[in-house]
Amino acid sequence: MNINTLIDQVALDCKKNISFDEVIKYLKSKVPIFTNCSRQHDSKVTTFKKSKLESNYVIARLVFRWIADNISYDVKAWLANDFTNATDIDHIFKTKMTFCAGYATLFEKMCVDCGMDPKDVVYICGTSKGAKKKGEKIENTKSNHAWNAVKMECGWQLIDTTWASGQLFKRQQFCKKFSEFWFCSPPDQFVFSHIPDEKEWLLFDGEFTLEQWYRAPKVTDYFFRHEIGFIDEASSPGIERIEIKERFHCFSLVITDDTIIILNLLDGNDRCYHDKTCVTSEPSEGDMKGRLVILSCDFSDLSGHCKLNVFAGKINAKKKHIFTYKLNVDLPVEEEIDDLETWPVDCVGHMDIIEPDEVAINTEPSKGFSFSEPSDEFNFTETIDFNFTGIKKDVPE
């Protein structure tokens, strides 16, 4: 059991339906339990002995976990552009609902009230590759999201309580589901989905243009958990649709030896073409870690907008959605197609889709599969190198 698990349990034990001041009093009283202590592990128990664990970390973790468990995303207000009570703490606490500005404001307020120096917690405005309203283009959107940074013993750390609290589905429904990834996220991974208005809050020294950021992969937090990497830009899923001009098209990834990849190819009507995908792998070469995976698709009989959903997971574990290739299939008209052409015999084909928590799959044989892809509002974006290389840095005093 690690220190986060212990702190989380204390936050989750806080009584429901009590006043804001009572919540603060409860959380603040628990900070000394974890301050001036560190953990020692053996196979069965976690014990503590004197040393230093900065209180800012404990406060931030307690508040982060409490908010993620108790506050939900206000989809109705967001869709109606109703920002009247966006940062009204009393309203947020009463309704237990808000959106990103409210989450970030509440986090900042609770951290300070629990004893954190106001200079050590920051409200950050920026742009995210999250859920978009119909017809909205992320390229034309500025400051559509908000998150926080907290100064800790190891420097400034990035925290997004909005995305940690759950996921927003394309049907505009919020699903409460905690995500650990958004607490103290590595800056070079956080940047794949978040870009601040003030570049100092990138928290790492990397050079890239806004256009490169828009074109960079939109991936979920599971992508980083499985240490997946793209071989080149052509295999990364950017915002723009990938043009498919040939019947057979391949994408290349690098994965760890114990990771399994599963594909789900859908046409514009969300009909699944399960027998048109193939996954093959081979050991990677040179300094590249893991193994090389080739994702192959047969686009015959397909045209127009399609998508290739990619799932990953450990062997014998549930496979999770990690990213989606958005495609536009525009094949030249051929007089004749060789029906005898088949996939290589050594490929892993015809794999079953394993249903993740956030995906609904209908397996009626007559209708194929229907797939409801989650939006990436709470992605949900390593061990990959995509123009975001650099050295982590701290914000100057």
User: 132 with 258, same domain?
Assistant: no
Q: Could you tell me if residue 97 is inside a domain?
A: yes
300 and 276 share one domain: yes
pLDDT in tens, the chain (397 residues): 688 999 999 999 999 889 999 999 999 999 988 876 544 433 333 444 443 347 899 999 999 999 999 999 998 888 888 888 888 999 999 999 999 999 999 999 999 999 999 999 999 999 888 655 555 555 555 678 999 999 998 899 999 999 999 987 765 788 899 999 999 999 988 998 899 999 899 998 877 777 778 777 778 888 888 888 887 777 777 767 889 999 999 998 888 888 899 999 999 998 999 788 989 887 766 655 678 889 999 998 899 999 999 999 988 888 988 888 889 999 987 655 555 444 443 433 333 333 344 443 333 333 333 333 443 332 323 333 343 444 455 555 5
Dmax (CA) of the chain: 78
> 298 and 207, same structural domain?
no
Same domain, 153 and 237: no
Alpha-carbon distance of 162 to 223, in angstroms, equals 19
Split into its structural domains, the chain has a count of 2
In a domain, 42, yes or no: no
What one-character-per-residue DSSP string does 170-200 give? TTS-EEE---GGGEEE-HHHHTTTEEESSGG
Determine phi and psi for 270, rounding to 5 degrees. 60, 25
pTM for this prediction? 0.73
Same domain flag for 67 and 191: yes
Residues spanned by the domain of 329? 223-333+343-371
Task: Identify whether residues 167 and 287 lie together within a single domain.
Answer: no
Category of 102 on φ-ψ map: left (φ > 0), alpha (ψ -120 to 50) or beta: alpha
10 Å Cβ neighbour count for 115? 16
Distance CA 98, CA 267 (A): 35
Q: Is 54 inside any structural domain?
A: no
Specify the CATH number for the domain of residue 116.
Answer: 3.10.620
Q: Is residue 275 assigned to a domain?
A: yes
**5 within a domain of the structure (yes/no):** no
Q: Answer yes or no: do 319 and 174 share one domain.
A: no
Asked whether residue 377 is domain-assigned, the answer is: no
Nearest to 139 by CA among 264, 258, 239: 239
Q: Do the domain assignments include residue 270?
A: yes
Q: Based on the domain organization, do 227 and 298 belong to the same domain?
A: yes
166 and 278 together in one domain: no
Helix-then-strand count for the chain, H and E: 10, 24
279 and 241 co-located in one domain: yes
Task: Provide the pLDDT for residue 24.
Answer: 96
pLDDT for residue 382: 33
CATH number for the domain that contains residue 322 = 2.60.40.1220
Contact 280, 305 (CB under 8 A): no
Q: Residue 212 CB: number of other CB atoms within 10 A?
A: 14
3-class SS of residue 281: strand
> In this structure, are residues 126 and 149 in contact, taking their beta carbons and an 8 Å threshold?
no
Domain check: are 213 and 227 in the same one?
no
Q: Which residue has the tokens 């050594």?
A: 346
Q: Does 22 fall in a domain? A: no
Distance between CA atoms of 98 and 75, rounded to whole angstroms?
8
Same domain, 266 and 213: no
